[in-house]
Amino acid sequence: MGSFKWINCFIIFNFFSFSISTNFLDEAKNPDVFDWMVKIRRKIHENPELGYEEFETSKVIKAELDKLGIPYRHDQVALTAVIAFIGTKKSPFVALRADMDALALQEKVEWEHKSKVPGKMHACGHDAHVAMLLGAAKILKEHEKEIQGTVVLVFQPAEEGGGGAKKIVESGALENVSAIFGLHITPRFPIGEVASRPGLVYARSGFFEATISGKGGHAAFPQHSIDPILAACNVVISLQHLISREADPLESQVVSIGSFQGGSAFNVIPDSVSIGGTFRAFSKESFMLLRQRIEQVITGQASVHRCSSTVNFFDEEKPFYPATVNNDELHKHFQNVAGNFHGINKVNDILRPSMGAEDFSFYQEVIPGYFFLLGMQDPSQERLASGHSPYYKVNEDAFPYGAALHASLASSYLLKLQQKVEG
């Protein structure tokens, strides 16, 4: 009798998942919802804000939530975060997350809604993530009486290096949440396709900056100076030896220097040089060893060239990101919901983890979490630029899929939890 009840619940759950996902996509494609999402995204895109500076973005989000009659936390969670609630306001709780910070890039895409802020742009789709989560909120609010628990909407600051997710976790805002879902829009896959994998998805990541100090002087007489540029060049080369000569060739690791600054005149040896970069690895042991060796190499090479050095790993400002690891059970849930989703053409399996990083991992350290990619490439159009490019564009036609999937994953997960309790 018990097994019959379980099978019956499973059939009901799958039918419910299919029917709500179909309805949600139709609702998300309705011009009242789609055009509204596009308008919000373009407004945010025109006014990009960097990590922990998203005050105006937060105001836009709160204003739209107010119009929808969706309550949210008023206290300052992670400075600019907005945490909203739809449903019974009681257990169980499931969360949906959208990051909302921009990048320090000058936009080079000429269009009507180009960034109005010099040196800042949404070059990674976070403006689209906010719009889609608001779209999901609008849909879920229409079905609030059917929700078997509470959907928590997490509008998160400072994903791009600032670890906004870490601050939200530390605030206790998600203490009672049973699971959390997050997505990232991508040109890697066509519209109507999604992709993810169970287990390891993205690497651990950290930043560092070093100042190498010598003694400045006239470039015609280097013997009277202590050249920090020469020392810094040797540091950069030696750091690459950590990967080619110390790391296991079968274990992926990365050290990349992205910043090298020193001097402003052709005929002057400067007093100091600063370099900065990122390091990444999958395992915690390899990551921490890499951190240790980076400091040793910088200090040692500077000393060889008669220079002094300081190394900063930004432990507070730019906390190390853990590895992004998808929960196995949530992977099954994602496959079931996305596979039954009317309009999703293909659910792709990402074959191997990436050396990219995602602060969604901070949630996954304390809550079962699942992160997936949403395709936005139109095969009949030009290939879209990848993230962190000044030529980055978003195909807004993907918005209904993201909003509807968000809504479907959360509502069906709560139904699944409710059936477990009743079973």
Residues 275-287, mean pLDDT to the nearest whole number: 97
Number of domains in the chain: 2
- Are 158 and 307 in a shared domain? no
Q: What is the residue-wise DSSP string for 85-115? A: EEESSSSSEEEEEEE---BS------STT--
Residues 22-46, mean pLDDT to the nearest whole number: 95
| Confidence category of residue 6, pLDDT binned at 50, 70, 90 | very low
| Confidence category of residue 22, pLDDT binned at 50, 70, 90 | low
- CATH code for the domain in which residue 216 is found: 3.30.70.360
pLDDT score recorded for residue 16: 47
Question: Omega of the bond prior to 390 within 30 degrees of 0, cis?
Answer: no
- Are 125 and 260 in a shared domain? no
- Are 182 and 150 in a shared domain? yes
C-alpha to C-alpha distance for 9 and 22, rounded to whole angstroms: 20
| Confidence category of residue 9, pLDDT binned at 50, 70, 90 | very low
Q: Are 367 and 177 in contact (CB under 8 A)?
A: yes
Tell me if 359 is assigned to some domain.
yes
Domain range for 123 is 2-202+323-422
- Are 61 and 138 in a shared domain? yes
- Are 80 and 210 in a shared domain? no
Which letter, b or e, does each residue of 189-204 get, where b requires 16 or more Cβ atoms within 10 Å of its Cβ? bbbbbbbbbbeebbbb
Residue 8 has pLDDT above 50, yes or no: no
pLDDT in tens, 162-176: 999 999 999 999 999
Residue 206 has pLDDT above 70, yes or no: yes
| Residues of the binding site | 124, 126, 160, 184, 388
Least confident of 20-34, 190-204, 304-318: 20-34
Q: Are 161 and 318 in contact (CB under 8 A)?
A: yes
Q: What is the residue-wise DSSP string for 166-215? A: HHHHHHTTTTTEEEEEEEEEEEEEETTEEEE-SEEEE-EEEEEEEEEE-B
| Residues of the binding site for Mn(2+) | 124, 126, 160, 184, 388
Burial of residue 410 (CB within 10 Å: 0-12, 13-18, 19+) is buried
pLDDT score recorded for residue 367: 97
Tell me if 252 is assigned to some domain.
yes
Residue 283 has pLDDT above 60, yes or no: yes
pLDDT score recorded for residue 341: 87
pLDDT score recorded for residue 20: 54
Tell me if 318 is assigned to some domain.
no
Residue 181 has pLDDT above 60, yes or no: yes
Contacts of 217 (CB under 8 A, 6+ apart): 224, 225, 268, 269
Any long-range contacts for 31-39 (C-beta under 8 Å, 24+ apart)?
33/135, 33/138, 33/139, 33/400, 33/403, 34/135, 34/399, 34/400, 36/135, 36/138, 37/131, 37/132, 37/134, 37/135, 37/396, 37/399, 37/403, 38/131, 38/396, 38/399
Residues 349-358, mean pLDDT to the nearest whole number: 95
Residue 15 has pLDDT above 60, yes or no: no
Residue 270 has pLDDT above 50, yes or no: yes
C-alpha to C-alpha distance for 275 and 212, rounded to whole angstroms: 8
- Are 240 and 196 in a shared domain? no
Mean pLDDT of the chain: 94
Dihedral, CA of residue 346, residue 165, residue 199 and residue 376, to nearest 10: 20
Residues 345-363, mean pLDDT to the nearest whole number: 95
Which of 312, 345, 379 terminates a domain? The answer is 312
- Are 166 and 241 in a shared domain? no
- Which two tokens mark 65? 């939530």
Q: Are 204 and 290 in contact (CB under 8 A)?
A: no
Residues 214-240, mean pLDDT to the nearest whole number: 98
pLDDT score recorded for residue 75: 84
Q: Are 398 and 376 in contact (CB under 8 A)?
A: yes
Least confident of 8-17, 122-131, 139-148, 400-409: 8-17
Q: ∠ CA(122), CA(35), CA(119), 5° rounding?
A: 15
| Confidence category of residue 76, pLDDT binned at 50, 70, 90 | confident
Tell me if 402 is assigned to some domain.
yes
Q: ∠ CA(326), CA(327), CA(329), 5° rounding?
A: 135
Q: Are 43 and 117 in contact (CB under 8 A)?
A: no
Coil vs helix vs strand at 314: coil
Residues 76-99, mean pLDDT to the nearest whole number: 96
Secondary element (H or E) of residue 66: helix 55-68
Tell me if 317 is assigned to some domain.
no
- Are 64 and 90 in a shared domain? yes
- Are 399 and 415 in a shared domain? yes
pLDDT in tens, 385-397: 999 999 999 999 9
Q: Which residues pair with 272 in a beta bridge?
A: 213
Q: Are 39 and 93 in contact (CB under 8 A)?
A: no
- Are 113 and 222 in a shared domain? no
| Confidence category of residue 419, pLDDT binned at 50, 70, 90 | confident
pLDDT score recorded for residue 172: 95
- Are 186 and 216 in a shared domain? no
Tell me if 411 is assigned to some domain.
yes
C-alpha to C-alpha distance for 20 and 13, rounded to whole angstroms: 10
Closest of 334, 95, 331, 375 to residue 200, by C-alpha? 331
Which of 267, 288, 312 terminates a domain? The answer is 312
Residue 13 has pLDDT above 50, yes or no: no
Residues 211-234, mean pLDDT to the nearest whole number: 98
The percentage of the chain sitting over the pLDDT mark of 90, rounded to a whole number, equals: 90
- CATH code for the domain in which residue 111 is found: 3.40.630.10
- Are 73 and 184 in a shared domain? yes
C-alpha to C-alpha distance for 37 and 400, rounded to whole angstroms: 9
Which of 312, 332, 356 terminates a domain? The answer is 312
Closest of 300, 276, 296, 277 to residue 288, by C-alpha? 296
pLDDT score recorded for residue 423: 56
